[in-house]
Structure formats: structure tokens, C-alpha cells
Amino acid sequence: MLISSSTLLHLAESALAQAYRLTHHPQIGSTNDEALSLALAGHAGRLWIVADAQTKGKGRLGRQWISPPGNLYASLLLIDPAPVQKAPELGFVAGVALWHALRDCLGDDPRLEIKWPNDILHAGAKLAGILLESTQLKSGGLACVIGIGVNCNSHPEPALYPATDLAHIGTLLSQRDEVLIRLSAAFVTWLRVWDEGRHFAAIRDEWLTHAAGLGTPISVAAPDGARDGIFETIDSNGRLVLNAGGKTLTLEAGDVFFAPPPIGVLAGVRSGLGDTMSREERR
Ligand code: BT5
């Protein structure tokens, strides 16, 4: 069932003023899948799709996003937000916008960090995740879908990473409608800064200000195997730059681990692009 506007859920005034709109589903397979379907059916974009629960919530690389009621499951559909080659940068714009929205909920807290490519951690535990997908439209346009899951009042105990939620942290604001208002406002702000890819440097600077693990030893489960080294920076394309025993490695994809991961985990992580946009989708 689709409710065109919710009595509970609202977008920020700044988002409404920029013609963003909201649809709300009590339950859905995946808000990202719904956004992609709407795009293929000709939707003009600037649409937030929010569900109370998802039955097929998706993470990156075909992984599951556990999606019980009470947390925020939202996808933002944008049509032609930038030239095609700049579209993968949206994952970093989303990471910065989500970090700011959650900072508004937490207040100042140095434990709130962005993990490459765009997870949000609190005290090292995963608070929110982002899944960026895109599809080429028959019209020749590009539909981009930014899917965001925020754990508001519960979190699972997944095997790969520790997790947390806003209520568990004890934040000022923890309700998903409060998070959505701040998220929709933060996207207006940071999409404007990005300026259709003209100012990715400003997004990169902001991302690096809040990055987890900079200058520390990390392990990256990359598509072609595990890489260990010091996390130096991200480059002008958002790729992770690793100093591996004096040799500089630039990684486009992978899962980052700050502490030695459990035995077998690195080998078990499925390969794929760290920026959440598949090679197929980038063409
Ligand atoms: C992500 O993938 O972090 C992207 C998550 C995006 C979810 C949103 S919800 C709205 C929209 N619609 C969708 O269908 N998806 C998007 P990844 O980095 O691959 O992390 C997935 C991994 O995180 C899983 O393999 C689990 O280990 C763990 N996990 C699953 N559910 C979680 C949760 N609710 N909280 C924390 N970790 C979780």
C-alpha cells in the first residue's frame, strides 16, 4: 500500500522549498528497488521513499540490510544529478550529509565518524549505511538512488561489524521522523555544495574531517585480496590511498577493518566496488 504523504513523516522546509517530495510505505521489499522502478516508469526525481519496514532490505554486494520497524529506511531518487562520470561521488555527498544529520541528533560527539566509503560509525559500531545504485534510462538520462538505513531504536548483531542505534547511544533525538527531517535538510545543503560535481574537493575535505581511522593501520578486503597498510587519505576520485610498507596503493573498492578481523572474514567478503556503484552501472 502506498500513502502519498504521511501524517507522521515530514521533509524539512528547505527540502520542500526545493521541490523534494515524500512517499511512505508501511512495508516494502526495498526502498531502493521502489525508487529504481519509479525511475524506469518515468518519475522526474527529487523523491524520498520511506518505509516503516523492509522485507528485502539490501546492503552492498548483495548483502542483507536488516530492516525491522522503528528504524529509518529511506531512498532518495535523483534524475541526472550530475554528469555520469561524477555520479559515484554521490556516495561521498551522502556520507557527509548523513554524518551532519546524525550529528544534529547526537550533538557534538567525536565518536561519530564516516568509514570509507560511506558508513557512519559511532564508537566504532555501525549506526547507518548507504547503498548507492544507478540505472541508465531509455531517455538517455541517469537515475541515481541513494539508499540510507539508520538504526534509530534497534540494531542487529551482524557478524561482519559491530552495530549500534541512536536510542542505545542515548541521543538527544532518536525518532526516525526527526532523523528524516534533518537528513532531507542536510542533503539540500551538501548537494548544493557539491554543485553537480563541480566542487567535489569541498565534499572530500569535509569527508576527511570526519573520517575514521585516518593515519592508522587498516585491513581492506579488496576484490583482488586483502591489503594491509596505513590509511593515508582518499584521492580526488574518492579512492582509498593506503601506504603498504612504503608502497602507495590506491583502492577503488573493498571493506575496511580497523582492528584485525575475525579469522576467515577477509576471505569471505564478496568482491565488488567500495563506492557501491557497480562497474555495469558506471558505464
Ligand atoms: C550498507 O551495506 O551498509 C548499505 C545499507 C543500505 C540500507 C538502506 S535501507 C534503505 C535502502 N533500501 C535498501 O534496500 N537498502 C538501503 P554494507 O556496507 O554492505 O553493509 C551490510 C552489512 O551490514 C551486512 O552484511 C551486515 O553485516 C550488516 N548489517 C545488516 N543490517 C544492519 C543494520 N540494520 N545495522 C547495522 N549493520 C547491519
User: Which domains does the chain show, CATH number per domain?
Assistant: 13-209 (3.30.930.10), 217-271 (2.30.30.100)
DSSP 117: T
DSSP, residue by residue, 212-240 = TTTTSEEEEEETTEEEEEEEEEE-TTS-E
Å from CA of 28 to ligand 1 middle = 16
pTM given for the model:
0.91
Ligand 1 proximal residues by C-beta, below 6 Å = 30-32, 54, 57-61, 63-66, 73-75, 119, 126, 129-131, 147-149, 151, 155-156, 158, 160-161, 163
179 vs 22: CA distance, rounded Å: 14
User: Residue 269, class by beta-carbon neighbours within 10 Å (0-12 exposed, 13-18 middle, 19+ buried)?
Assistant: buried
pLDDT value of position 281: 31
pLDDT digit string (tens) for 40-77?
999 999 999 999 999 999 999 899 999 999 999 999 99
**How far from 33 is each of 50, 184, 188, CA to CA, in Å?**
12, 20, 23
Å from CA of 66 to ligand 1 middle = 7
Decide if pLDDT at 36 tops 80: yes
Of residues 217 and 159, more confidently modeled: 217
pLDDT value of position 161: 82
Could you tell me which of 193, 185, 189 has the C-alpha nearest to residue 15?
185
Nearest-atom index, ligand 1, CA of 66: 31
